Structure 1
Amino acid sequence: MVVVPTSAALSQSADLVLCDRIAADPADPDKPASVKGVAEISAGDIETAIKYCRTAAAGSRRAMYALGRAYAANRQPADALAAFRKAAAKGSTSAMVELGVAYATGAGVAKDEAQARELFAKAAEAGNPRGISNLAALGGGGSSDPTKTRALLAKGAETNAEAQYQLGMMLAEGVGGTKDDVQARALFEKAAAQGHPGALERMGAFAQAGRGGPQDSGAAKGFYERAAALGNADAAAALKRADCPYSIKDKQGKLVTNLCF
């Protein structure tokens, strides 16, 4: 358990200091650099987080967002959504993303991809990396304004693996601008280094074909294996094709089986 501080840090209330310490989101743009944040709120800290974040939320949108996280950790989805709505109304882009995820998945609300896209777009336009990557993953309004989506992804790609992957896909396919295999491969490589399954699969495909860089079958297999281990079906299929390159077809030309090494 966390010990409650006896005095406030700087001009912040003790409630906000404690809320930040045990419930702040490490990826929240509102979070001060001095606050580390936690990926998941510890089970033993949930009750304390709710108590102090609720008090601090009266004057802090990041505390309101953290309160939503605490409610979610305590399996109180309705209260979590209510807190996220209040934080989003005050301008919290992280809360907008959480609401967008809820609408995209239908978790606690009626599924509404248009509403999810709107929330992701608002967060993305404010520079939130998760808003950018989720917008792209949802289709990002990409069909209506791919150029804008590409520009937003470029911001997120500085640090976010999903944004790097999504931007790489747009560059590889020439969506929203000029096709650029070299830059696409560089982005896939960055995302792959962070363990992104899709980027690992794309690196395998690019290395296998010599696209955007040197051809290297050995490296391609390594990328495919790492992606497949993370559950990427396309990579698993690519590995199978590599092991079973010869096909046997019937008289009608339909595949009967593959010959494997």
Structure 2
Amino acid sequence: MTDWLSRLATLAIPGLAVALMAAALTPLRAHAQSADLVLCDRLAADPSDPDKPADVKGVPEIAASDVATAIKFCKQASASRRALYELGRAYAANRQTADAIAAWRKASDKGSTSAMVELGVLYATGAGLAKDEAQARKLFERAAEAGNPRGVTNLAALGGAAATSADPARARELLAKAAETNAEAQYQLGLMLADGNGGPKDEAGARALFEKAAAQNHPGALMQMGAFTEEGRGGPKDPSAAKSYYQRAADLGDADAKAALKRLQCPVVLKDKRGNVVSDLCF
């Protein structure tokens, strides 16, 4: 306690002293709460969560060694819907399904679209909650309406893939909203535009979306950009750029891109009289 607060506490105006002391300590409490949220984010943030700050990378899976610490700090920061969602992730990683569901319900009530998606998945699969496809659909719709790309893709999945959804036009509309900022949504919408699902075929538009997602190192989009630039779809043909896109996708583990690279390197296939492959000619 500072000297002036100590002296004030000795005066015969205790009510004022208490009020001033509380005011002085408020920034400290706010800082502590902010620090809890920073640590919660560091250990348990979801890379795909739209609520995640841009400067937070996130973790696809919470490390086993970090689970207990994540639960501690996310609990302390649980006034935030993001922290509640991340608390649910930490509980789920610790196989505390009931606690995860409780945290996600609170986060969902506060507007966390990622929590809505997690609850929707549990309802859709019957894992931890009674299977209820109608409830899952409602949750995915709420998340999708708010622009969450996982909400869109999971909603489409209830009727098949996005390309064969019972309402592809609606899936396309929702993906367009999410594609403003999200690489996965850009990729999914690009596929729909490329195939003409849910609306007019637009290869130039598809290529532009794939290019945006590829700039964020989305493996599928890199693969598509390789194909589009190799074939000249939606824009100029550029074999050199195609090879570069394929290589970047292959480096990320994309099997189709690896096969495409081999095809570019070995374009001639020698076959015997029966049509059996004898050898490749590689350059």
Match of 1:88 among 108, 117, 120: 108
The 1:51–1:199 alpha-carbon spacing in structure 2 relative to 1, beyond 3 Å, is: closer
1:97 deviation in Å?
1.9
Matched, 1:68 2:88: yes
1:126 deviation in Å?
2.5
8 Å contact kept, 1:18–1:52: no
Matched, 1:48 2:72: yes
Structure 1, 233-242 or 125-134: larger mean CA deviation: 125-134
The 1:105–1:39 alpha-carbon spacing in structure 2 relative to 1, beyond 3 Å, is: farther
The 1:194–1:80 alpha-carbon spacing in structure 2 relative to 1, beyond 3 Å, is: same
- The amino acid that maps onto 2:39 is I
Structure 1, unaligned stretches of length 5 or more?
A: 1-5
Matched, 1:120 2:140: yes
Match of 2:37 among 20, 32, 38: 20
1:22 deviation in Å?
3.1
Pick the structure with greater CA Rg.
Answer: 2
Q: Secondary structure at the match of 2:84?
A: helix
- The amino acid that maps onto 1:248 is L
- The amino acid that maps onto 2:202 is D
The structure with the largest helix share of the pair is: 2
RMSD: 3.8
1:71 deviation in Å?
2.5
Spell out the pairing of 1:4-15 with structure 2 (5 A cutoff): 7-8=25-26
- Normalising by structure 1, what TM-score? 0.76
The 1:19–1:212 alpha-carbon spacing in structure 2 relative to 1, beyond 3 Å, is: same
Corresponding residue for residue 3 of structure 1:
none
8 Å contact kept, 2:75–2:83: no
- The amino acid that maps onto 1:83 is A
Structure 1, 223-232 or 114-123: larger mean CA deviation: 114-123
Q: Secondary structure at the match of 1:258?
A: strand
Spell out the pairing of 1:176-215 with structure 2 (5 A cutoff): 176-215=198-237
Counterparts of 2:255 and 2:131 in 1: how far apart (Å)? 26
Corresponding residue for residue 249 of structure 1:
271
1:248 deviation in Å?
2.3
Counterparts of 2:163 and 2:190 in 1: how far apart (Å)? 17
Paired residues in the alignment total: 249
Q: Secondary structure at the match of 2:262?
A: helix
1:259 deviation in Å?
2.5
The 1:225–1:109 alpha-carbon spacing in structure 2 relative to 1, beyond 3 Å, is: farther
1:17 deviation in Å?
4.6
1:182 deviation in Å?
0.7
1:125 deviation in Å?
1.6
Counterparts of 2:261 and 2:55 in 1: how far apart (Å)? 41
Per-residue CA deviation, residues 181-204 of structure 1 (Å, 9 max, x unaligned), is 111111111000000011111111
8 Å contact kept, 1:117–1:135: yes
8 Å contact kept, 1:23–1:38: no
- The amino acid that maps onto 2:224 is R
Structure 2, unaligned stretches of length 5 or more?
A: 1-23
